[in-house]
Amino acid sequence: MGLRRNKIAIVGAGFTGASTALMLAQKELGDVVLIDIPQLENPTKGKALDMMEASPVQGFDSQITGTSNYKDAADADVVIITAGIARKPGMSRDDLVNTNAGIVKSVCENIKAYAPNAIVIILSNPVDAMTYVAYKSLGFPKNRVIGQSGVLDTARYCTFIAQELNVSVEDVRGFVMGGHGDDMVPLVRYSSVGGIPIDTLISPERIQEIVQRTRMGGGEIVNLLGNGSAYYAPAASLVQMTEAILKDKKRIVPVIALLEGEYGYDHLFMGVPTILGGNGIERIFDLDLTAEEKIALDKSAESVRNVISIVSI
Ligand SMILES: NC(=O)C1=CN([C@@H]2O[C@H](COP(=O)(O)OP(=O)(O)OC[C@H]3O[C@@H](n4cnc5c(N)ncnc54)[C@H](O)[C@@H]3O)[C@@H](O)[C@H]2O)C=CC1
Ligand SMILES: O=C([O-])CC(=O)C(=O)O
């Protein structure tokens, strides 16, 4: 019997889903199945075929299939959920909660039926609450239900630090935790370039501006695009998470995880630093925080709780 390739299903073939499919294939992380609603089956097939026709030019052998039939996603190793509506200028991510909760729930019923052993990554917003909806709907163990926020928020934070110091992005380290909203918590104390703490190189005022720009990073793109939200950096973030899982890399990345006592929170889904590997979330780092950091995290946790409290499953 030949070796089996990894299979990655992406539900939602819009801006983020399609960008993710192409980036996954370019890295040959597995065969990709792109799923959207039956009314969009032809455009979904068209996107997949267009990407396949890039493969001889770019030299990748991953197969990309467009479909509206979950049977094509049977036994996927990783399923990525990007289905739902995106915000427009003037809206908050939380305004999407009721529409997207219904969509994520129905998507999860299909995942449960066709890919019961998959590790599931949720992108749909408001993503902390949608990860909770997915966890409840799937009934999978908590290590296999993972929300994407912190990789993207950290990427934005690191972009701004690299630009501020005019240094390589490869040398910037740091992370953002908390909910994926305007009160997320970039951890300045744990941020460095080439091992040098950033607060020895950047003034407190500029650091605060970078922190604030990071918090509003999604909104900055929404306002510039005018008719949707970011997709290139979100797709890159999903690819990093998928790669960590499929290659069992044990990357240390912030992701949305079910907290059961960590940081003093119980039954809450929120972004925290974790080890991401072949078993999904393999460990949560429960770091000591300063009083100021804890106050900021409490505020973010309260925002997430408020959104989750209005979700009906
Ligand atoms: N967590 C994060 O960091 C980020 C979250 N997002 C969120 O991701 C979601 C998707 O964003 P985009 O791709 O830009 O939106 P989009 O509108 O381009 O694509 C969404 C796709 O989902 C599909 N869809 C809707 N209901 C479906 C269902 N029941 N089954 C299958 N497919 C379904 C739509 O037909 C559409 O093609 C939004 O909720 C957005 O807010 C986007 C970027 C970052
Ligand atoms: O801002 C949005 O609505 C999309 C998103 O979550 C992000 O780009 O961070």
Mean pLDDT per segment of 10 residues, for the chain of length 313 residues? 90 98 98 98 98 98 98 98 97 96 98 98 98 98 98 98 98 98 97 98 98 98 97 98 98 98 98 98 98 98 97 82
Note whether 128 and 157 are same-domain residues: no
Domain total of the chain: 2
Same domain, 250 and 238: yes
Q: Does the predicted interface ipTM exceed a cut of 0.90?
A: yes
Judgement on whether residues 166 and 109 belong to the same structural domain of the protein: no
pLDDT for position 1: 63
Whether residue 156 is annotated as binding a ligand: the answer is yes
Q: Is the dihedral of CA 213, 219, 224, 230 positive or negative?
A: positive
Residues 11 and 108 in one domain: yes
Asked if 186 and 235 sit in the same domain, the reply is yes
For the full predicted model, state whether its pTM sits above 0.95: yes
Query: Does the annotation list 242 as a binding residue?
Result: no
Q: Which atom of ligand 1 is nearest to the CA of 68?
A: 31
Whether residue 49 contacts residue 21, with contact meaning beta carbons closer than 8 Å, is answered with no
**Residue 225 confidence (pLDDT):** 97
What's the confidence (pLDDT) of residue 2? 77
Element spanning 79, H or E: strand 78-81
pLDDT at 277: 98
Q: What is the pLDDT of residue 190?
A: 97
Q: Which atom of ligand 1 is nearest to the CA of 18?
A: 13
Q: How far is ligand 2, taken at its centre, from the CA of residue 240, in Å?
A: 17
Q: Is residue 1 part of a domain?
A: no
CA end-to-end span of the chain: 43
**Is 41 inside a domain boundary?**
yes
Residue-level pLDDT at 49: 98
CA distance 296 to 290: 10
Residue reference for tokens 């990525």? 80
Residue 180 is among the residues annotated as catalytic for this protein = yes
The CATH number of the domain holding residue 88 is 3.40.50.720
Q: State which residues form the domain around 132.
A: 7-148
The answer to whether residue 2 sits within a structural domain is no
Counted residue by residue, the chain has a size of 313
Q: Is 36 annotated as a binding residue?
A: yes
Task: Please check whether residues 117 and 50 belong to one and the same domain.
Answer: yes
Residues 6+ apart with CB under 8 A from 261: none
| Helix, strand, coil percentages, rounded to 5, for the chain | 50, 20, 30
- Residues enclosing ligand 2, CB less than 6 A? 86-87, 93, 125, 152, 180, 218-219, 221-222, 229-230, 234
Ligand number nearest to the C-alpha of 122: 1
